[in-house]
A and B are shown apart, each in its own frame.
Chain A
Amino acid sequence: MTAPLLVFFVLAGLAVIGAVSLILQKHPIHSALSLIVVMVALAGLYLLLGAEFVAAVQIIVYGGAIMVLFVFVIMLLNAGVEEHTSISKMAGAPGLLLVVALAGLVAATIVRSTDSIQGTMQTGVMSSTSGVSNMIFREFVYPFELTSFLILVAVLGATVLAQREKS
């Protein structure tokens, strides 16, 4: 059991526990906090994979902005404990089976196709931050500009949507 492997299992276990907790918690705020745990664990995993920039962005944007947004909305709406209704018949036993099937299918497919790939550590000239920024502003400059446009649209949309009715 090498050190990276141990760290991996710890972080992976943390992520899975966080995800399971998201499902099992009754109050949405607890679920949000569980999700934050998952994200932090994932950031750790990114670090393990040698992607420092992505790990940092994950914590700042996901953990610091998106999840905060979620928490704000939960508190704004006074979301309470989830009530227990069961109108939908499909989302019961069939749903469970299908979920397992889906997860298994995805895993099996990818594993079957990628048995031979092993990872290597990234060092050298194309290391994370400068390499990523080079790629963004060279090959992926159009998608980059478009995503900034997308964010603008999202901001406008969110503002319009959340306005109070003009009474």
Chain B
Amino acid sequence: MPTYPMLEYLWIIPLLPLLGSAVNGLLGAKWSNKIVNSVATGSTGLSFLAALEAVREFFESGQQLFHKEFFTWIAAGNFRAGFDLQMDQLTVVMVLVVTGVGWLIHIYATGYMAHEGGYYRFFSYLNLFMFFMLILVLAANYVLLFVGWEGVGLSSYLLIGFYFLKKSAADAGKKAFIVNRIGDFGFMLGMFLLFRAFHTLDFQGIFTSSTLQGWPVELSGHLGTLTFACLLLFMGACGKSAQLPLYVWLPDAMEGPTPVSALIHAATMVTAGVYVVARSHVLFIHAPTAMLVVAIVGCATAFFAATIGLVQTDIKKVLAYSTVSQLGYMFLACGVGAFSAGIFHLMTHAFFKALLFLAAGSVIHAMGGEQDMSRMGGLRKKIKWTFATMLTATMAIAGIPPLAGFFSKDAILFSAFQNSGGQHLLYLFGLLTALLTAFYMFRLIFLTFHGKPRYDEHHVHVHESPWNMLVPLAVLAVLSIIGGWLAAPALWGGPNYFADFLAPVFGSPAGVEAASEGAVGAHQLELVLAGVSVGAALIGLAVAYWLYLKRPGKADGLAHSLKPAYTTLLNKYYVDELYAAVVVKPLLWISTVVLWKTADVAGIDGAVNGIADGARAIGDGVRHTQSGNTRSYAVWVVVGAIVIIAVIFFWPFGFRPVVGVVR
């Protein structure tokens, strides 16, 4: 039996960033940037190498599911939760994405944050985030996954509020954490339900349990335990992955530094929700109602966010809404049963979205901190590398072949078309969203890099970023180009390597099943749909080109004529205001008036103080017996005599003091 040392010590992968975080956090305050750099980037890099080694061993072992319990964390009555880590095909994808993209972003951040205060704190938090995220993807039971889940929420709060002296940043951090918490509540309830149904929370324990094998598929509309549990888990996923209605924290989270936005809110943390749904696919398959909900919510979110992104002027906000929209795509994929397509899109999205954010950071860095696109323009010639990489990423996200986004988006749309029944509504909205995505992404490009400069050229000195920011951009650009090629052969009838790789986890992809029935017909349909989606992307590109390049004033004119729609979109459908009025205000009212003033001040304080006051009042009353006046003492003697006689002669409880002969 060959030994797999890295797999045996799988915990090294999350441990290295934790050590880096601790070292930087405790000792980094006095160190120079260079040392903090090396600790942070080094630990993440080593973690990436460790992950590579673990993956290599995984392949060497014949892709056997590896699962090891390192120590028992909780053992209480019937409930056991251990520090179990596992490695299977899905984990391979996730762990490589997290460590790889994370490492690149660390390198980028060394350049981007070079002039910021609190340098060591930033890297400490960033490493802490890596630790929790790795725990999340490596966990082999829901409890440990939840530890990672909460931990990344915490790191997100810390990093969003990194510029904590700025009120909007601190508020954004709080908002993120609180909205996440609402989702976490659902997640916990889902876990409880699962435990009650299966008496364990281990993945293998649940997914291979005989209870589950024998569980009847819960019919649509019938809310059984599994449906409930899946819906609750999905609620947690909505919070973490910013779907309707818990997406409101993600645009605000742009207050954090750009590397944070890239790492957490594009590539890794927000994908945790998709990961959970994919991991629990066995449960979801038994609950078609839940899957339908997932698909509908994902599709609706994708469309909704895309419409908001059409008119935003802050470059990071556009990317934030784009992230929400793309996450909606991933959930749509999971909802229609194409889990491997969802994970594929997760991977490619990590590449090009991280690249987009990093490049945007580069633009912001070049512009000296300016984030408003209406004050940019004509940067194409000045920051060539940034432009090139950002254009690559935009083409990827728009779904233009042969870049990565085309293959993943196409897989999703194809599955949506096949599985969404007669109406094909999901497919239509997905297609429309693809069109809108292409439009607003190219709008971003044209506004930022083309046209006349709309900024004061004397005050702003546009300069290209240093090498440690450009190299990760380049690497990610390459990945955006080739990242989809694992699935490419499927287009001309070959195997889809990615889906095949994930097949042991997800079962055969839906497309292949259909293909086995009407192989040629399904394949032709796929090619047709691919063509349609490329066409939609090109239409979007063309409209953006026309509005922003050919006739620059047209966009403003259009906005003016469609004023009501425009303002609604600009104000994000007033969702934040709605939440503030419906949720936040009543809650604050309850807290202040009911709980604080009434229950706490009047009730509890009143009771406690009242007891003290009562004791004093009683004392005040009883004081009068000690008057010094002999005559009143005499009266008290009489009172005492009466009491004693009454007690002795009329006591009804059986105890009868000796009364003697009188009886």
Q: Which residues of A contact B (CB under 8 A)?
A: 87-91, 94-95, 98-99, 101-102, 105-106, 109-110, 113-114
The answer to the question of B646 belonging to the interface, with a C-beta cut-off of 8 Å to chain A, is yes
Pick the contact of A87 from B629, B646, B663 — CB < 8 Å? B629
B662 and A102 within 8 A (CB)? no
Residues of A within 8 A of B663 (CB): 113
Q: Most B CB atoms within 10 A — which of A87, A88, A114?
A: A88
Nearest-CB distance from A114 to chain B (Å)?
6
Chain A binding surface, main DSSP class: helix
Q: Which of B357-365, B505-513, B572-580, B636-644 contacts A (4 or more CB under 8 A)?
A: B636-644
14 examples of A-B residue contacts, CB within 8 angstroms: A88-B627, A90-B629, A90-B632, A90-B635, A90-B636, A91-B629, A95-B638, A98-B635, A98-B638, A99-B638, A102-B642, A109-B649, A113-B659, A113-B662
Chain B binding surface, main DSSP class: helix
Question: CA–CA, A158 to B636, complex, Å?
Answer: 29
A95 and B635 within 8 A (CB)? yes
Residues of A within 8 A of B649 (CB): 109
A88 and B632 within 8 A (CB)? yes
Residues of B within 8 A of A105 (CB): 642, 645-646
Question: CA–CA, A20 to B641, complex, Å?
Answer: 22
Total interface residues on B, CB under 8 Å, equals: 18
The answer to the question of B634 belonging to the interface, with a C-beta cut-off of 8 Å to chain A, is yes
Nearest-CB distance from B462 to chain A (Å)?
96
Restricting to B366-420, which residues have a CB under 8 Å from any CB of A? Answer: none
A110 and B638 within 8 A (CB)? no
Pick the contact of B632 from A91, A101, A102, A106 — CB < 8 Å? A91
B635 and A94 within 8 A (CB)? yes
Pick the contact of A98 from B639, B645, B646 — CB < 8 Å? B639
Question: CA–CA, A109 to B647, complex, Å?
Answer: 12
Question: CA–CA, A88 to B626, complex, Å?
Answer: 11
B635 and A102 within 8 A (CB)? no
A90 and B662 within 8 A (CB)? no
Nearest neighbor of A96 in chain B, beta-carbon distance: B635
Residues of B within 8 A of A94 (CB): 635
Interface mask (B611-645 → A, CB under 8 Å = 1, otherwise 0): 00000000000000001011110111011011001
Nearest neighbor of B638 in chain A, beta-carbon distance: A98
Nearest-CB distance from B85 to chain A (Å)?
82
Residues of A within 8 A of B645 (CB): 102, 105-106, 109
Question: CA–CA, A101 to B646, complex, Å?
Answer: 11
B629 and A102 within 8 A (CB)? no
Residues of B within 8 A of A113 (CB): 659, 662-663
Question: CA–CA, A139 to B632, complex, Å?
Answer: 41
Residues of B within 8 A of A87 (CB): 629, 631
Question: CA–CA, A114 to B632, complex, Å?
Answer: 34
A98 and B642 within 8 A (CB)? yes
- 3 cross-chain pairs, A with B, having the tightest CB-CB distances, nearest first: A90-B632, A91-B631, A88-B631
A102 and B638 within 8 A (CB)? yes
Question: CA–CA, A122 to B639, complex, Å?
Answer: 38
Question: CA–CA, A90 to B631, complex, Å?
Answer: 8
Interface mask (B113-148 → A, CB under 8 Å = 1, otherwise 0): 000000000000000000000000000000000000
Question: CA–CA, A109 to B650, complex, Å?
Answer: 9
Question: CA–CA, A106 to B631, complex, Å?
Answer: 22
Nearest neighbor of A104 in chain B, beta-carbon distance: B642
Question: CA–CA, A22 to B623, complex, Å?
Answer: 33
Question: CA–CA, A102 to B634, complex, Å?
Answer: 13
Nearest-CB distance from A105 to chain B (Å)?
6
Nearest-CB distance from A53 to chain B (Å)?
22
Residues of B within 8 A of A95 (CB): 631, 634-635, 638
Nearest-CB distance from A132 to chain B (Å)?
19
A114 and B662 within 8 A (CB)? yes
Residues of A within 8 A of B629 (CB): 87-88, 90-91
Nearest neighbor of B662 in chain A, beta-carbon distance: A113
Interface mask (B289-318 → A, CB under 8 Å = 1, otherwise 0): 000000000000000000000000000000
Residues of A within 8 A of B631 (CB): 87-88, 90-91, 95
15 more contacts with CB within 8 A, not counting A94-B635, A98-B639, are A87-B631, A88-B627, A88-B629, A88-B631, A88-B632, A90-B629, A91-B629, A98-B642, A99-B638, A102-B645, A105-B645, A105-B646, A109-B649, A110-B662, A114-B662
Question: CA–CA, A87 to B635, complex, Å?
Answer: 14
Nearest-CB distance from A113 to chain B (Å)?
5
Residues of A within 8 A of B659 (CB): 113
Pick the contact of B634 from A89, A91, A101, A114 — CB < 8 Å? A91
Question: CA–CA, A91 to B638, complex, Å?
Answer: 11
Residues of B within 8 A of A90 (CB): 627, 629, 631-632, 635-636
Nearest-CB distance from B631 to chain A (Å)?
4
Question: CA–CA, A104 to B662, complex, Å?
Answer: 17
